[in-house]
């Protein structure tokens, strides 16, 4: 306070004031820019539903490799919540009525590439009809199919999955 009042009594030097506030504005801008770019890079997923090229590739991969079980419209197998006669679970939908959007990217990618590995993505001894696509698809194709699946989700599910994914990244 005292320093400020002492300042007021001194004759003003506008060019100093401009230089000072100019420097402050520049510092604020630089800081904001750094923050925005940090948040941006950490939030862009390798499976980006906003990337049209990726989504188009993913749609083709889906039709060829996933639709037979998960449904042409991502609707899943009929009565997908009920166990089959063989004791295994049917393929769940990948649209917003399923639970694909409950999982972070790393888990979706892992399940698609390796299958529902017991002890990793499923309980020990778990048996599943979900194939491992590591041999049939390249990593880019797996990210693309996930981008396509995401591109069908309404904003609420998309935002939820993004948050789950963000939290799984900060925990790692
Ligand atoms: C032969 C049938 C079949 C095909 C083809 C298939 N899936 Fe599956 N998928 C399943 C079954 C069955 C489950 C559920 C497994 C369980 O709970 O035991 C499943 C589960 C999943 C899950 C876990 C979903 C969740 O919410 O837990 C993901 C992710 C998945 N599949 C992705 C894919 C993708 C991507 C493709 C195409 C590249 C694909 N699947 C092709 C049968 C299939």
The pLDDT of residue 24:
92
Q: Please give the distance, rounded to the nearest whole angstrom, from the Cα atom of residue 92 to the centre of ligand 1.
A: 7
Q: Please give the distance, rounded to the nearest whole angstrom, from the Cα atom of residue 90 to the centre of ligand 1.
A: 9
Rounded average pLDDT over 37-45 = 67
Q: What is the pLDDT of residues 135-170, one digit of tens each?
A: 999 999 999 999 999 999 999 999 999 999 999 988
Confidence of residue 40 (pLDDT cuts 50, 70, 90): low
Asked if 168 and 104 count as a contact pair (C-beta separation under 8 A), the reply is yes
Rounded average pLDDT over 119-126 = 96
The pLDDT of residue 6:
53
Q: Which residues lie closer than 8 Å to 81 by C-beta, 6 or more apart?
A: none
Which secondary structure element, helix H or strand E, spans residue 171, and what is its range? helix 155-171
Q: Which residues lie closer than 8 Å to 147 by C-beta, 6 or more apart?
A: 47, 48, 49, 51, 54, 55, 58
Would you report the helix, strand and coil content of the chain in percent, each value rounded to 5? 60, 0, 40
Among protein residues, the one with the nearest Cα to ligand 1's atom 7 is 130
pLDDT of residue 111 exceeding 60: yes
**Which residue out of 70, 99, 146 has the highest number of ligand 1 atoms within 8 Å of its CB and is therefore the one to mutate?**
70
Q: Please give the distance, rounded to the nearest whole angstrom, from the Cα atom of residue 127 to the centre of ligand 1.
A: 12
pLDDT of residue 20 exceeding 60: yes
The pLDDT of residue 14:
75
CA distance 21 to 107: 49
Asked if 130 and 116 count as a contact pair (C-beta separation under 8 A), the reply is yes
Ligand 1 atom nearest the C-alpha of 77 is 12
14: exposed, middle or buried (Cβ count in 10 Å: 0-12, 13-18, 19+) = exposed
**Which residue out of 75, 79, 91, 99 has the highest number of ligand 1 atoms within 8 Å of its CB and is therefore the one to mutate?**
91
pLDDT of residue 1 exceeding 70: no
């Amino acid at each position: 306070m005292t320093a400020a009042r002492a300042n007021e009594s001194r004759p003003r030097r506008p060019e100093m004031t401009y230089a000072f506030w100019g420097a402050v504005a520049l510092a604020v801008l630089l800081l904001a820019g750094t923050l925005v770019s940090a948040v941006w890079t950490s939030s862009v997923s390798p499976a980006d539903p906003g990337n049209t090229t990726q989504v188009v590739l993913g749609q083709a991969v889906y039709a060829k490799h996933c639709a037979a079980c998960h449904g042409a419209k991502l609707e899943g197998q009929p009565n997908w919540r009920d166990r089959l006669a063989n004791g295994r679970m049917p393929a769940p939908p990948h649209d917003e009525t399923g639970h694909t959007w409950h999982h972070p990217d790393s888990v979706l990618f892992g399940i698609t590439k390796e299958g529902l590995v017991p002890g990793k993505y499923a309980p020990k001894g778990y048996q599943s009809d979900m194939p491992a696509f590591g041999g049939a698809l390249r990593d880019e194709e797996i990210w693309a199919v996930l981008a396509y699946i995401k591109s069908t989700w309404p904003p609420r599910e998309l935002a939820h999955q993004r948050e789950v994914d963000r939290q799984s990244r900060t925990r790692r």
